[in-house]
Chains A and B, each alone.
Chain A
Amino acid sequence: QQQVRQSPQSLTVWEGETAILNCSYENSAFDYFPWYQQFPGEGPALLIAIRSVSDKKEDGGFTIFFNKREKNLSLHIKDSQPGDSATYFCAASEGGRALIFGTGTTVSVSP
């Protein structure tokens, strides 16, 4: 059973638009939710993270919206640029245990 799910699997937006990536999870005990960005041929890198006590986290053009009751969260990429084209992974962990990654969303930003 997939513990962390992401949608859509892929997404294309125009430069300047806001890309919205969705993530949902099963385990209500998850309390830490980082998003990782991965470019082809590289390892993932931490982009932004939120803890379950918060409902929103902003960092530059990236914002996480978190809904604990619904067990879902979303990553908004504002003013998307071609350099934001990458695969984005939502991840979750419980009480300091290992991160469980979602299935990923591949974002393409067209100029």
Chain B
Amino acid sequence: GPKVLQIPSHQIIDMGQMVTLNCDPVSNHLYFYWYKQILGQQMEFLVNFYNGKVMEKSKLFKDQFSVERPDGSYFTLKIQPTALEDSAVYFCASSLRTGGTGQLYFGEGSKLTVL
């Protein structure tokens, strides 16, 4: 089936540093998402992105977070500066239609460890 690729699979950084998580979504998809998962538990919505803009974001999407997809390349999540509580697995997803009605395809996650 369609694949969403995430790079890196695992990153360890010191608190206060910047990190960029990269996502290569399914090629013809139009909607992009980031979710955060801690300890294999609940998937928490962070943000969705469409047509170059943030469409919706949750309270977890702090001011230190930003997303972009320059020139149709990787969809990125940047955290600057990082905090200890940002340690989690971040999942990127994409869909052809809005996620409320369309199937989301998830990547395998990027595990972020903040020391």
Residues of chain A touching chain B, judged by Cβ–Cβ distance below 8 Å, are: 32, 34, 36, 40-46, 49, 87, 89, 91, 93-104
The answer to whether A94 touches B35, judged by C-beta atoms less than 8 angstroms apart, is no
The answer to whether B100 touches A103, judged by C-beta atoms less than 8 angstroms apart, is no
Chain B, 31-68, CB within 8 A of any chain A CB: 33, 35, 40-45, 48, 56, 58
Main secondary structure of the interface of B (DSSP, over half): loop
Size of the B side of the interface (Cβ < 8 Å), in residues, is: 25
Task: Indicate if B93 sits at the interface (CB-CB under 8 A).
Answer: yes
Contacts A43-B93, A98-B33; A93 near B42 (Cβ below 8 A) = no
Closest B residue by C-beta to A89:
B43
Residues of chain B touching chain A, judged by Cβ–Cβ distance below 8 Å, are: 4, 33, 35, 40-45, 48, 56, 58, 91, 93, 98-101, 103-109
12 new A-B contacts at CB < 8 Å, known A40-B40, A43-B108, A44-B106:
A42-B108, A43-B93, A44-B104, A45-B105, A89-B42, A96-B99, A96-B100, A98-B100, A99-B45, A101-B35, A102-B42, A104-B42
